[in-house]
A and B are shown apart, each in its own frame.
Chain A
Amino acid sequence: MSSVSAQTTGPQKRTLSLVRSDMPPVEGPIGFDEMWGRDSVVRAPYNELAAWLDQIPSGVLDQRRREAELVFRRIGITFAVYGETDAQERLIPFDVIPRILSSAEWDRLRRGLEQRVRAINLFIKDIYSRREILRAGIVPEDMVFQNPVFRPEMNGLKVPHDLYVFVAGIDIVRVDAETFYVLEDNVRTPSGVSYMLENREIMHRLFPDLFSRHRIAPVDNYPDELLATLKSVAPGTTSGDPTVVLLTPGVFNSAYYEHSFLADKLGIELVEGRDLVVRDEVVYMRTTEGLNRVDVIYRRVDDDFLDPLAFRADSLLGVPGLMSAYFAGTVTLANAVGTGIADDKAIYSYMPEILRFYMGEEPILKNVPTWCCRRPADLAYVLDHLEELVVKEVHGSGGYGMLIGPKADKGSLAAFRDKLKFQPNAFIAQPTLSLSTCPTCVEDGVAPRHVDLRPFVLNGRDQIRIVPGGLTRVALKRGSLVVNSSQGGGTKDTWVLDH
């Protein structure tokens, strides 16, 4: 063992087995690799991993990858992709090479995430009460009031403890050793945390030896932290220990596995709309022993489908009368209704100012530079530089409906130009960042693939809780920047090294 550690101290030159032979034809400078940096010297957090990858006989990674897939298939972690009937239950590919962050890197991320989530919560509270930020002219009024995710029903409503966002998934990308950007805020019903937990579990199983060489901050307390957060925000009407349930749209939802997984880990009931009933502005669930009062609903159903009496009348997923109970203050919805106003892609471009406005601090985590096509000057720039930019729909998600300029052909560039001129408000544009890569198992060995990171932030009455790390998503297609699981992305275990 001592000879091994002697080998692994200090920087190492890249070895032949890890040559980036299939790096995509380079557009601009070579990107930052989380293991190799820019200059092919192993970065400190990856020392042990690089040495280990060098030592293991060829074929081991591939064999472990197959083992992992077998386990995932058996325990039924699947992911439904909308529009693919045949692949109704598809596995999200799991990459066995972990992504590693040093404790110093994580510390900065953690502080930045806390700051950002606090600001987002204050912003939502302000929008649904005094609207100071609109009066100060920092965010344009029509971006709020004409936004389909703005919920006038929430105006003036006093929610328990002034909290709106309890669970947030903040997507982070990295471009070099020092620079992390927030790519997207998800403060409605962010998903993916089950993969974070399962990935760690499976890595423990597959690579006990690799684990014993590292000191990795654990993530398995996430369910406890989530439950503590949810219980901390129970409404004042709760007597005794609050009853918490998880509301799912049902088995056909793409994240159903996660819903059942979390309910199981939290030890709470997994309910569908038809299991709940509202009587005299109180929510109950139908049980074999009659009706049981419910205090906190961790809902994974979108606003639109929560209550057919208040929102979409054709929704069969919701609970008639749920909003009446919410307005009466007898139940907490986590997250609150109307939080979408804060994670809209157009609002995103204002987030640095929003943060300064409420926190009186500089943002610790930067935004990706963003052109907001609603501003004429920005639009002009975007039209001129379309082939260099990524254009996204303001209300889109899951990586659909976006244009990646450098990869697009003439036809789609022209089509997007027309779309932009016709509806500038619906789009934002960002530079094609050269996202960091991480060594990843591919068909013929190990190659760099682009990654992002979604840490999960829990915002309770008492404190903000973040388990170290999050979900690393990886674009498995060579050169691809799209990490979304609905478009063939995979995941990795994320390690935060302890001091």
Chain B
Amino acid sequence: MLSRTADNLYWLSRYVERAEYLARVLEATHRLSALPLAYAGPSNEWESAVATAGCAAAFQSAYGEPNEETVTDFLAFSSENPSSIRSCFEVARANARAVRTALTMEMWDAINGAWLEIRGFGPGRKSRDEIARFLRLIQESSLRYDGSAYRTMLRNDAFWFSRLGVYMERSDNTARILDVKYHLLLPAQQHVGGPLDYFQWAAILRTVSALTSYRWVYRDSVKPWLVADLLILNNQMPRSLASCYENLVRNLDLIGQAYGRQGLAQRQARAIRARLESSRMEEIFQAGLHEFITEFIADNNRLGTTITQQYLL
């Protein structure tokens, strides 16, 4: 297939996945900020939401003070923020339009329909109800797009490249929330058991839609090291780094087999998966959770560059 088509499909999936992630970040933050101070703690969860979205610098220069209104506007609706939910869908739709022939009717419908509705949310202040409705729309649209792709696409390179986009973005997002919140997940004595931290951990789990999964996997109250384990090493959990890499390796292998040629991207992905498979949480904590995550983000970015160079240019 055309490199440009593959590139468009890859980024289309990435943008939809990113929009859904941002919607979850905002939803979890709204929930956290609604708690009485005694539960939520003194930390500014809005500042942390911007950091989790990876656009702290851009926010600083545009708004200054992070609070519910500014952060919601910036992450959800701003057309100046190229990574806002609105911008993500705008780019996603432009990409979709450019590769109409590579999309199924259902996928186009999901993107185009979502965009038409998103456009209905005009500028200006919005009520909490409106914001909640918007965030729900985004999550539903993402599910619909992903489901349409899964159920209607031919299983060929077009499908595999669009899956690569999903998992690259997802692993990046999970790594980013770990990067911002890692201090909450350290198994330090003083953190255990406080109600304050419980809600912070729950917010993290909510952001990756894993609060219920956590209970089923560990059958235990929320403990920070188990949250870290769930997000990093547990391959049952679809947003964990391990699960993302299992899927990245699989889809890259399918592409390699179809083209009769393996390359650097396949080798890099396998190396990262091997590291995740052989790691134990205790070792990661001993060597430093923060270092581990920083290294992972660098590896992940490198793989993204390799995929682009190998297939998408």
List residues of chain A with CB under 8 Å of any chain B CB: 74-76, 250-251, 256, 260-261, 263-264, 269-272, 274-275, 285-289
Contact = CB atoms under 8 A, between A and B. Distances in A.
Nearest to B258: A289
A251 B2 contact: no
A263 B259 contact: no
Interface in B79-107: 94, 97-98, 100-101, 105
- Majority secondary structure of chain A interface residues (helix, strand, loop or mixed): mixed
Contacts of A74: 109, 112-113
A264 B4 contact: no
Contact of B105 (A75, A260, A285): A75
A251 B94 contact: yes
A285 B97 contact: no
Interface residues of B, number: 24
B112 A263 contact: no
Determine which residue in B2, B108, B112, B312 has the highest number of CB atoms from chain A within 10 A of its CB, and name it.
Answer: B2
Contact of B4 (A76, A256, A274): A274
A275 B112 contact: no
The 3 closest A-B pairs by CB, nearest first: A264-B101, A260-B100, A288-B311
Contacts of A288: 1-3, 6, 157, 161, 255, 259, 311-312
A270 B255 CA distance: 21
B164 to A, nearest CB: 11
Contact of A263 (B3, B6, B97, B101): B101
B2 A275 contact: yes
Contact of A286 (B2, B100, B109): B2
Nearest to A245: B2
Contacts of A250: 98
A296 to B, nearest CB: 16
Most-contacted residue by chain B among A269, A274, A275, A288 (CB, 10 A): A288
Given A74-B112, A271-B2, A275-B2, A286 B97 contact: no
Interface in B129-170: 157, 161
Given A75-B105, A251-B94, A264 B100 contact: yes
Nearest to A286: B3
Interface of B: 1-6, 94, 97-98, 100-101, 105, 108-109, 112-113, 157, 161, 255, 259, 261, 311-313
Contacts of A263: 101
A75 B313 CA distance: 29
13 contacts: A74-B109, A75-B105, A76-B100, A260-B100, A261-B100, A269-B5, A270-B101, A272-B4, A274-B4, A287-B2, A288-B2, A288-B259, A289-B261
Given A75-B105, A288-B157, A251 B4 contact: no
A286 B4 contact: yes
Nearest to A263: B101
B91 to A, nearest CB: 12
A87 to B, nearest CB: 14
A285 B6 CA distance: 13
Given A74-B113, A76-B100, 15 more contacts: A76-B112, A250-B98, A251-B98, A272-B4, A275-B2, A285-B2, A286-B3, A287-B1, A287-B3, A288-B2, A288-B3, A288-B6, A288-B161, A288-B255, A288-B312
Contacts of B313: 286
A289 B94 contact: no
Contacts of B109: 74
A288 B109 CA distance: 26
B45 to A, nearest CB: 39
A202 to B, nearest CB: 15
Contacts of B6: 288
A261 B101 CA distance: 7
A340 to B, nearest CB: 28
A287 B156 CA distance: 14
A285 B105 CA distance: 26
A270 B313 CA distance: 16
A275 B98 contact: no
Contacts of B97: 76, 251, 256
Contacts of A269: 1-2, 5
Nearest to B101: A264
B2 A76 contact: no
Contacts of B259: 288-289
